[in-house]
């Protein structure tokens, strides 16, 4: 995440990365992505795609998910929502056998008891991309505030994650940097879902997805930020999690990053049921985010 403008290839590769995890993308979209990737090989630039480091005493309830299998090792981001539960994206749980470790901001390992993926995932398009992890021991980390009534209006959202911070092109082959060692943050705009649905006309079922459109001309989430939060500021001065980083892409004609993220408010009943009532959403009055 960064105020710097990402390279064409960096954003394009994100679209390919997320498309690869979603069987609803048809042959037409794959053909377009392949053509664009071939064009990008000769025009790609090296770019730093990192955001601002979050102070060590802030956002303590944003944690890292470390996945390890015989085939690969990867990360996602998540938020603490109760003494026993962590919220993230369902697409972080790839098919296969792996070991999952949850790590807090102080690098403490949080023992995992089990996890619950929404029964409707994978639904049409990007639907139901939400999961909850239950940890063994009670957490001492204050949970995030979950928003029940967020209404996207183009205002800024605060996003955070432990994702990759750099892409580098070597002879047309993209090489990711390491994951961020520190929690990074940036700001994007939250819009009604309809602003994004026109960007993927060949993806069926997108109009029914319970998500919000996030957009910014110069920044967006990278691999490893998946499952992380988008926060809206309330007039009470608190930040409320309104979305979960899900899927993103770029619309080359319009420019910039577009993503459809899971709308937390649409899943409040599921969150409360899955956590046995330990995590509940709250109504709030939205305020404008001010960037220092």
- 32 and 94 within one domain: no
pLDDT at 141: 92
pLDDT at 220: 58
Higher pLDDT, 210 or 288: 210
pLDDT at 27: 40
Backbone angles phi, psi at 88, to 5 degrees: -155, -170
- 193 and 126 within one domain: no
> With bands split at pLDDT 50, 70 and 90, how would you rate the model's confidence at 132?
very high
pLDDT at 271: 98
Q: Which residues contact 23 (CB under 8 A, 6 or more apart)?
A: 122
- 130 and 162 within one domain: no
* 288 in any annotated domain: no
CB burial of 154-166 (b: ≥16 within 10 Å; e: otherwise) equals ebbbbbbbbbbbb
- 63 and 12 within one domain: no
pLDDT at 217: 57
pLDDT at 164: 58
- 155 and 16 within one domain: yes
pLDDT at 13: 37
Closest Cα to residue 34, out of 52, 13, 49, 3?
Answer: 13
- 150 and 120 within one domain: no
State the CATH number of the domain containing residue 216: 2.40.10.10
The count of domains in the chain is 2
Among 64-68, 95-99, 136-140, the range of highest mean pLDDT: 136-140
Closest Cα to residue 88, out of 245, 282, 252, 211?
Answer: 245
Closest Cα to residue 4, out of 256, 291, 292, 258?
Answer: 256
Q: Which residues contact 21 (CB under 8 A, 6 or more apart)?
A: 91, 94
The domain boundary residue, chosen from 143, 159, 176: 143
Question: Could you list the residue range(s) of the whole structural domain that residue 122 is in?
Answer: 56-143
- Rounded CA-CA distance 157/161 in Å is 13
pTM of the model as a whole? 0.77
Residue 52 structure tokens? 């601002």
pLDDT at 126: 77
The domain boundary residue, chosen from 123, 143, 163: 143
pLDDT at 292: 55
Higher pLDDT, 202 or 140: 140
Closest Cα to residue 86, out of 227, 249, 186?
Answer: 227
The domain boundary residue, chosen from 143, 160, 194: 143
């Amino acid at each position: 995440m960064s105020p710097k403008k990402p390279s064409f290839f960096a954003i394009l590769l994100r679209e390919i990365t997320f498309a690869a995890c979603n069987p609803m993308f048809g042959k037409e979209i794959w053909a377009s992505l392949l053509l664009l990737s071939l064009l990008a090989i000769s025009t790609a630039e090296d770019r730093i795609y990192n955001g601002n480091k979050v102070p060590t005493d802030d956002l303590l309830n944003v944690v890292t998910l470390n996945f390890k299998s015989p085939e690969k090792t990867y990360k996602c981001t998540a938020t603490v929502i109760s003494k026993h539960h962590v919220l993230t994206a369902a697409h972080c749980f790839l098919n296969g056998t792996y070991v999952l470790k949850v790590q807090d901001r102080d690098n403490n390992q949080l023992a995992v008891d089990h996890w619950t993926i929404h029964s409707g995932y994978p639904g049409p398009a990007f639907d139901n991309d939400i999961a909850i992890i239950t940890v063994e021991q009670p957490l001492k980390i204050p949970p995030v505030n979950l928003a029940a009534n967020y209404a996207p209006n183009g205002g800024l959202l605060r996003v955070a994650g432990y994702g990759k911070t750099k892409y580098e092109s070597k002879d047309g082959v993209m090489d990711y940097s390491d994951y961020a060692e520190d929690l990074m943050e940036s700001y994007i705009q939250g819009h009604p879902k309809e602003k994004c649905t026109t960007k993927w006309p060949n993806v069926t079922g997108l109009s029914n997805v319970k998500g919000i459109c996030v957009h910014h001309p110069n920044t967006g989430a990278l691999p490893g930020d998946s499952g992380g939060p988008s926060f809206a500021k309330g007039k009470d001065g608190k930040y409320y999690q309104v979305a979960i980083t899900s899927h993103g892409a770029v619309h080359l004609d319009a420019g910039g990053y577009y993503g459809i993220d899971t709308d937390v408010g649409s899943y409040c009943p599921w969150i409360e049921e899955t956590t046995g009532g330990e995590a509940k959403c709250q109504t709030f009055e939205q305020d404008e985010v001010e960037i220092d």
